[in-house]
């Protein structure tokens, strides 16, 4: 092959020679990463997987090994590459495809400050497509489960992997889930009986419901995405609702529709929701590099002329004590630009009470007993000592960051009384 030929020309020659599908990779940092990609790609193909699934396996293999040879040693670097597939087709057909994608995707946007979860997204993608179509995402409060689910739905719909997604928070009524399924069904022309339109969950699990059978068949045969947040809230559901949800998941298991459920606690609530044992993905805190990226993104709006010096290195190290919790990191960054301690405490109280306190307890609290791991709406089961201990440790972190050098960490104990008031919402 003559010198100077580009990868697109090489791909064209191979396709014209009879290859049904050619994968080319554009890379920036080193050539050795193509070796890791190709090895995993061909191993996956040899196991009978499709081209898209094999590319997914290769991407994951490359992400999990970041060492690249540099002389006699290895450097930990991040490769940026783009695998492109070439196959037989006419330019006219491709123009139509591109026009359709542009028309459908032009109004869709992705959350701009979603950082540090690329590998989590890749692993979840692999688990859903290869291992199980139902996956439990488990993580502590404030770790980013809700943001992950929301981003996941937007990203997969925008890139065309799923036709449509429905996001439902289990702390809310089932009405929003019913409305989401109704919108999903009607957008693809499925007819729903008016008498069943108010309660899809009941219709979908009813053996004698034609509408329910139509919905289940559509969800099993077409690739959609159902996202369920705060699964631990199902512990407060009545028995009939729990049984309907359990039966619904059982009927969707093994179909093409993908299902992600997020929870703060695993074990006790999973048998309540489903008879089967779904895959469980543990969502951990952000690493130091991602902490730094999050800090940078949150500090973009620093007022000009501010006399507050921003020390990214000091912040990144100290955030290790926050267990990589995006919620607590945002709290600290917001506090960074508050000169009034009382104003910061008041602004903290605008957060959801359970979410804030659970994040503090799980990041700084003492060992929680198994029965107390899930935070109910009342804080009483934890006891004042544990709550006070968590808040004092949080105040100590603020002090280390020199946000309020003169603050007494015990000052944060004022949160305890206000959070435990019966009239606080």
User: Which of the four pLDDT bands, split at 50, 70 and 90, describes residue 373?
Assistant: very low
What confidence score (pLDDT) does residue 184 get? 62
**Main-chain dihedrals φ then ψ at residue 372, nearest 5 degrees:** -105, 5
pLDDT single digits (tens) 68-103 = 665 566 666 555 555 566 666 654 555 554 455 444
Which residue, among 308, 316, 260, has the nearest Cα to 405 in the 3D structure?
Answer: 308
Answer yes or no: are the C-beta atoms of 263 and 297 closer than 8 Å: no
What's the confidence (pLDDT) of residue 190?
53
Contact between residue 57 and residue 29 where contact means Cβ atoms under 8 Å apart: no
Asked if residue 375 lies in contact with residue 382, where contact means CB atoms within 8 angstroms, the answer is yes
**pLDDT digit string, tens, across residues 240-299:** 777 777 777 778 888 888 888 888 766 555 555 555 566 888 887 776 666 666 666 655
The answer to whether the beta carbons of residues 223 and 256 sit under 8 Å apart is: yes
Residue 154 · residue 111 · CB < 8 Å: yes
For residue 46, is pLDDT > 80?
yes
Collapse the DSSP code of 278 into the 3-class scheme (helix H, G, I; strand E, B; otherwise coil) and give the result.
Answer: coil
Give 9's pLDDT tier (boundaries 50, 70, 90).
low
Reported as a pLDDT band with limits 50, 70 and 90, residue 369 is: very low
**Complete domains list, the chain, with CATH:** 7-88 (no CATH), 118-282 (3.40.50.300), 288-419 (no CATH)
Percentage of the residues of the chain whose pLDDT score is greater than 70: 35
Looking at residue 299, its pLDDT comes to 54
Query: Tell me: the pLDDT tens digits for 306-353?
Result: 444 445 555 555 555 455 666 656 655 554 444 333 344 334 434 444
- The pLDDT of residue 238 is above 80: no
Q: Which helix (H) or strand (E) holds 227?
A: strand 225-229
Which has the closest alpha carbon to 349: 423, 264, 424?
424
CA distances from 261 to 67, 76, 221, 226, 376 (A): 33, 33, 20, 8, 19
Question: What confidence tier does 420 reach under pLDDT thresholds 50, 70, 90?
Answer: very low
Buried residues in 389-415 as b, exposed as e (16+ CB within 10 A):
bbbbbbbebbeebebbeebebebbeeb
What are the CA-CA distances from residue 105 to residues 59, 114, 162, 384, 396 (Å)? Answer: 24, 19, 13, 51, 46
The CB-based long-range contact list for 204-212 (8 Å cut-off, 24+ gap) reads 204/248, 204/251, 205/244, 205/247, 205/248, 205/251
List the one residue out of 285, 266, 232 whose CA is nearest residue 120.
Answer: 285
User: 53 exposed, middle or buried (CB, 10 Å; 0-12, 13-18, 19+)?
Assistant: middle
- Say which residues have a Cβ less than 8 Å from residue 183's Cβ, sequence separation at least 6: 166
Looking at residue 424, what is its pLDDT? 31
Look at residue 129 and tell me whether its pLDDT is greater than 60. Answer: yes
Query: Is residue 378 predicted with pLDDT exceeding 50?
Result: no
| End-to-end Cα, the chain, rounded Å | 71
Listed in order, strand segments (DSSP E) in 50-106 are 67-70, 73-76, 81-86
* pLDDT at residue 395, as a whole number: 53
């Amino acid at each position: 092959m003559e010198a100077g030929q580009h990868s697109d020309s090489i791909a064209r020659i191979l396709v014209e020679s009879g290859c049904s599908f050619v994968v080319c990779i554009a890379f920036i940092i080193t050539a050795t990463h193509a070796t890791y990609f190709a090895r995993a790609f061909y191993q996956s193909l040899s196991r009978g997987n499709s081209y898209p699934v094999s590319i997914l396996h290769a991407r994951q293999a490359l992400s999990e090994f970041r060492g690249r040879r540099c002389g006699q040693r290895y450097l930990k670097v991040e490769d940026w590459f783009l695998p492109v597939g070439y196959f037989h087709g006419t330019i006219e057909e491709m123009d139509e495809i591109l026009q359709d994608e542009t028309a459908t995707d032009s109004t869709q946007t992705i959350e701009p400050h979603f950082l540090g979860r690329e590998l989590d997204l890749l692993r979840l993608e692999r688990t859903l497509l290869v291992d199980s179509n139902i996956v439990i995402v488990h993580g502590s409060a404030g770790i980013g489960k809700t943001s992950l689910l929301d981003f996941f739905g937007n990203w997969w719909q925008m890139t065309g992997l799923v036709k449509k997604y429905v996001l439902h928070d289990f702390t809310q009524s089932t009405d929003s889930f019913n409305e989401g399924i109704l919108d999903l069904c009607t957008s693809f022309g499925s007819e729903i009986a008016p008498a069943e339109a108010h309660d899809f969950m009941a219709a979908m699990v009813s053996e004698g419901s034609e509408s329910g059978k139509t919905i289940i068949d559509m969800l099993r045969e077409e690739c959609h995405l159902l996202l369920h947040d705060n699964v631990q809230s199902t512990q407060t559901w009545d028995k009939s609702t729990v049984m309907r949800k359990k039966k619904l998941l059982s009927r969707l298991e093994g179909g093409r529709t993908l299902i992600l459920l997020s929870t703060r606690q695993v074990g006790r609530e999973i048998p309540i929701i489903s008879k089967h044992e779904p895959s469980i993905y543990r969502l951990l805190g952000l690493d130091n590099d991602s902490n730094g990226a999050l800090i940078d993104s949150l500090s973009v709006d620093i007022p000009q002329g501010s006399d507050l010096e921003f020390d990214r290195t000091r912040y990144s190290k100290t955030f290790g004590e926050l267990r990589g919790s995006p919620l607590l990191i945002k709290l600290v960054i917001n506090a960074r630009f508050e000169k009034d301690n009382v104003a910061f405490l008041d602004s903290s109280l605008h957060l959801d009470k359970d979410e804030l306190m659970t994040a503090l307890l799980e990041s700084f609290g003492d060992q929680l007993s198994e029965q107390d791991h899930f935070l109910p709406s009342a804080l009483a089961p934890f006891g004042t000592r544990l709550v006070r201990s968590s808040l004092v440790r949080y105040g100590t972190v603020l002090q280390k960051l020199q946000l309020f050098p003169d603050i007494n960490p015990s000052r944060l104990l004022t949160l305890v009384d206000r959070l435990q008031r019966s009239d606080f919402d």
